[in-house]
Structure 1
Amino acid sequence: MSLSDQEVCIVDDDASVRTAVSSLVRSLGLRARLFASAEEFLAAGCAADLVISDLQMPGISGIELLELLRGRADQVPFIVITAFLQDAVKGRATQAGAACVLGKPFRADALIGCIERALATGPDHTHV
């Protein structure tokens, strides 16, 4: 699967963050779909190769979204971004199966590294 065939779903209630992350994702040759909430993402049925989600959002939080997906046996790689990076939050996200947890503001190269690692180790990206 080429990079341009891979879709990254970006879930964040902050439009400026969605736009910035989308620009970075597209600069890597990936497709991006943007969602203002976890509920919007779930309603769309996005078949993502990767999800990048904010932690703190009205309604369903990023960790709740991750836990919900894992409860459905959906093993899509998942990156959590948050302005509230505390050890307890990081631990819960990691335990729930997040591939990476980044504190806002984050450097572009840090997110790129997370994206590359998550896609390389994702469930649909094993090489024979």
Structure 2
Amino acid sequence: MAGGKLISVVDDDDSMRDALVALFRSIGYDTRGFASAEAFLACDDLERFSCTITDIQMPGMSGIELKQHLDERHSTMPVIMITARSDPELKERAISVGAAYFLRKPFETAMLVDCLEKTLEG
């Protein structure tokens, strides 16, 4: 495990979630995937996660709402937000709620890995 860090990937798109989980595992991170923000928030060991990578647009709770719920729980877990939508306001909203990084799909794998590593370094 890369420095004992546990990463969560929250995305309703099965193929994207599975690809990101596989990517982070391939570089040594313990990684768990969740199909929704609600499923992630319901897990019993939230405090173990070092970082969350979440899609913004999902059925039910959005990635932005997920970050707000984590803040309400006084979580300091950094959140990286990704989206396929091109709305200019999305980036502003994501940054305003405290996203560590904001990436638009499609993005380079190396860019996401770099964002994760910089986030984990603090």
Structure 1 gap segments, 5+ residues each? 122-128
Q: Across the two proteins, how many residue pairs are aligned to each other?
A: 120
Question: How far is the alpha carbon of 1:28 from its aligned partner?
Answer: 1.9
CA distance 1:17–1:75, shift in 2 (3 Å): same
Question: How far is the alpha carbon of 1:85 from its aligned partner?
Answer: 3.7
Structure 1 contact 85–102 (Cα < 8 Å) conserved: no
Deviates more, 1:73-82 or 1:44-53: 44-53
Question: How far is the alpha carbon of 1:72 from its aligned partner?
Answer: 1.8
1:115 matched to which residue of 2? Answer: 116
Which residue identity does 1:12 align to in structure 2? D
- Runs of 4+ displaced beyond 4 Å: none
Which residue identity does 2:72 align to in structure 1? G
What's the % identity of the aligned pairs? 43
Structure 2 gap segments, 5+ residues each? none
1:1-128 to structure 2, matched below 5 A, reads 3-45=2-44, 46=46, 47-121=48-122
Question: How far is the alpha carbon of 1:27 from its aligned partner?
Answer: 2.0
Q: Give RMSD over aligned pairs.
A: 1.3
